[in-house]
A and B are shown apart, each in its own frame.
Chain A
Amino acid sequence: MLSVEHVTKTYGSFTALEDISLTFTPGVYGLLSPNGAGKTTLIKMLTTLLFPTRGQILWEGEDIQALGAEYRGLLGYLPQQFGYYPNYTPRQFLRYAAALQCIPRREADGRIGQLLETVGLGDVADKKMKKFSGGMLQRVGIATAMLNDPQLLILDEPTAGLDPRERVRFRNLIHALSGERIVILSTHIVSDIETIAGQIIMFRDHRLYCCDSPAHICAQFQGQVFQLPAGTPLAPGQFLLSEGQGADGPVLRVLCETPPPMGRR
């Protein structure tokens, strides 16, 4: 179990995250918020890249900083911008990542072969990565993160920059790999997590806004989302969610407690 206890992160006078408390048990968690809300800051603290200014993060009751290598050894991490060595092949890069994870070479070689097949890169395992597409690189990234069969898998905006087909493929892959581990998936795209996340964590103004199941979150707004013809002025208490194309032309999707006069559910 991973616990985040009253964690705050500040940079000088800027507060990136304030008093965050969360508990993670095996399952898929979606971190959802607009860009700049603090998702990456939280993820970097969970991966020990950043140190909390206040509060602590515990793995099975022990501080992750004190656990050090032991904690990082059960962690798999795909950063927002997956860095790689262009002149390495996926196999070479994964061997290097395995060395970083202190996995013995023989054991690593077997696992690398399996993972490359799982992520669909078996046929390009020995080709240099400099000519790989963004989707292929992300798949190398997920293979890297899975190398040590982590109990905690953290993926920071894994679908950013991918085309729709690659995004679907990636979602399926994450779902297949989730198993009995904690998977924390950060994104600002709702469709990335609505089907695979058991819990959605949302931030607002650098604070925790909610942590609940998608069904429960949706139930809270049941009967409160309406479509209005585009150009309709919004009244107080009406919040614009999105603009789109309805059957009769462009529409606005708004959230409000009382049905608007021209509104359709």
Chain B
Amino acid sequence: MNLAVYEWRKLFRLPALWVFLALCLAFNALLFASLSPYDRALFNETSAVSEALGQRVDEDFLAALDAMPATENRELLLQSVTGMEDIFETYDTRELSDFYTGVVESSPLAVKWMTFKYGLLAGRVAHLAETDAAMDLYAGPVTYGSHQFLFGSLFRAVLCESAILAMLGTLYPLGYEGMHRTEGLACSSRTGRKLRRVKVLAALPASAALYGLLAVCTLVPYFLLYDYGGIWDASVSSQFNYFSDMLVVRPFLTWGDFTVAQYLAAALALGAVLTAVFSLLASVCGTLVRSPYLAALVLGILCFGGMGLVSAFGELGWWAAYLIACFQPVMVWLSCSAWFTELGLNAVLPWQETIASGLNLLLWGGGALLALRWFERKDVS
């Protein structure tokens, strides 16, 4: 613990870290500029309405909404909810299955996987129909925009910045002794080469703390602007929410029942796991590659090269390889706006982002352990 504190001190005393963090927050603040004040007013009014009337749109809700004092936003809301039906009662996943099996038809294995996934999704649709999740108001007509802004823009930015910080925040302590020529001193001490283990372990909570800081500093202002008081209990599978992949729009079909609050909590938790994955990935590179600059380059190649590989597999029609490559941490990050849904062409399994993050955690955790063991027998020049 004592040595971990020294490692944290080295990292958090780095001015560049705070400059980068400030730039990230400035960028996130710029994202707020894209918000429409009209949508915000409608969102807050919808939240107030649902706080008073509840989230479930039924006859009582409609009657009560109709009886409320008339405002422009209330009229808009009323128009949106009038005539709402449970879309899941008539929804058939075969359409999606046919579309995606058509896309990947050149690969029989990929066709099999897609058929399997959409077969399972049919059961979820039946469950959502039973629970009337589609009849939740969420944020009414501004649901998609607000959901996409929160999870597709803000959360994606936080996650990306946290991943970068986690990687740099891991590489920096790992390269610190080399940069200051203290590696000989450290490796000949009683702690010895095990100092690397301390550095890797210290980088994990440091990455989590930076992620938490970024998330709090970005999301708190958003929740101050957008009143989620009446929204938290809404189902994210409300018919006002949807997901679009390859220009095909489909309801927001999650593999489990999520309220907005639960969805945000689950996304934040998975984000923390993904941040740890990026930190471990950097641990492997930083241990195997001596120079922190070279290690950063290797990391960049791994991340961007991985994305390029997915794209190349898609272009070549190697769909089985494409679907496997979607398990990479970067691909999990890219799909963050629709986590816990079927993810279209980016997933072959239910809960793929969760499974992929868990597998990556095991893979890179194991990789870090092996790299550290390798370092134990490495000459330190």
Contacts and interface: CB of A to CB of B under 8 A. Distances in A.
Contacts of A49: 184, 187-188, 379-381
Contacts of B2: 99, 105
Interface residues of B, number: 25
Interface string A47-80: 1111100000000000000001100110101010
Contacts of B181: 79, 81-83
B380 A96 contact: no
A48 B190 contact: no
Contacts of A132: none
A97 interface: yes
A79 B180 contact: no
B190 A97 contact: no
Contact of A72 (B3, B182, B188, B379): B188
A68 B183 CA distance: 17
A85 interface: yes
A238 interface: no
Contacts, number: 76
A51 B379 CA distance: 6
A100 interface: yes
Nearest to A104: B2
A44 B244 CA distance: 61
Interface residues of A, number: 29
Nearest to B6: A96
Residue with the greatest number of chain A CB neighbours at <10 A, chosen from B180, B181, B184, B195: B184
Nearest to A78: B185
Given A50-B381, A100-B3, A100-B195, A85 B189 contact: no
Residue with the greatest number of chain A CB neighbours at <10 A, chosen from B183, B185, B186: B185
A83 B185 contact: yes
A144 B185 contact: yes
A102 B194 CA distance: 12
B136 to A, nearest CB: 55
A101 B379 contact: no
Interface in B349-381: 377, 379-381
B184 A69 contact: no
Nearest to B187: A49
B82 interface: no
Contacts of B380: 44, 49-50
B181 to A, nearest CB: 3
Contact of A77 (B10, B13, B184): B184
B185 A72 contact: no
A72 B194 CA distance: 12
A48 B192 contact: yes
Interface string B168-182: 000000000100111
A87 interface: yes
Chain A interface main SS type: loop
Contacts of B13: 87
A149 B110 CA distance: 66
Given A69-B191, A84-B180, A99 B6 contact: yes
B184 A79 contact: yes
B191 A101 contact: yes
B183 A97 contact: no
A83 B176 CA distance: 11
Interface in B187-246: 187-192, 194-195
A77 B183 CA distance: 12
Contacts of A81: 181
Contacts of B10: 85
Contacts of A148: 190
A83 B184 contact: yes
Given A51-B377, A85-B182, A77 B188 contact: yes
Contacts of A84: 180, 182
Contacts of A79: 181, 184-185
A7 to B, nearest CB: 14
A73 B192 CA distance: 9
Contacts of A100: 3, 185-186, 189-191, 195
Contacts of A75: 188
Given A99-B3, A100-B195, A101-B191, A77 B377 contact: no
B379 A50 contact: yes
B190 A102 contact: yes
A99 to B, nearest CB: 5
B187 A48 contact: yes
A48 B185 CA distance: 11
B190 A69 contact: yes
Interface of B: 2-3, 6, 10, 13, 177, 180-192, 194-195, 377, 379-381
23 contacts: A47-B188, A48-B187, A49-B184, A49-B379, A50-B379, A50-B381, A72-B188, A72-B190, A72-B192, A73-B190, A77-B188, A79-B181, A79-B185, A81-B181, A83-B177, A83-B185, A85-B180, A85-B182, A97-B185, A97-B189, A100-B185, A100-B186, A100-B191
5 nearest A-B pairs in the assembled complex, by CB-CB distance: A83-B181, A100-B189, A83-B182, A47-B188, A73-B190
Given A49-B188, A49-B380, A72-B190, 10 more contacts: A50-B381, A81-B181, A83-B182, A85-B180, A87-B13, A96-B6, A97-B185, A99-B6, A100-B191, A102-B190
Interface of A: 44, 47-51, 68-69, 72-73, 75, 77, 79, 81-87, 96-97, 99-102, 105, 144, 148
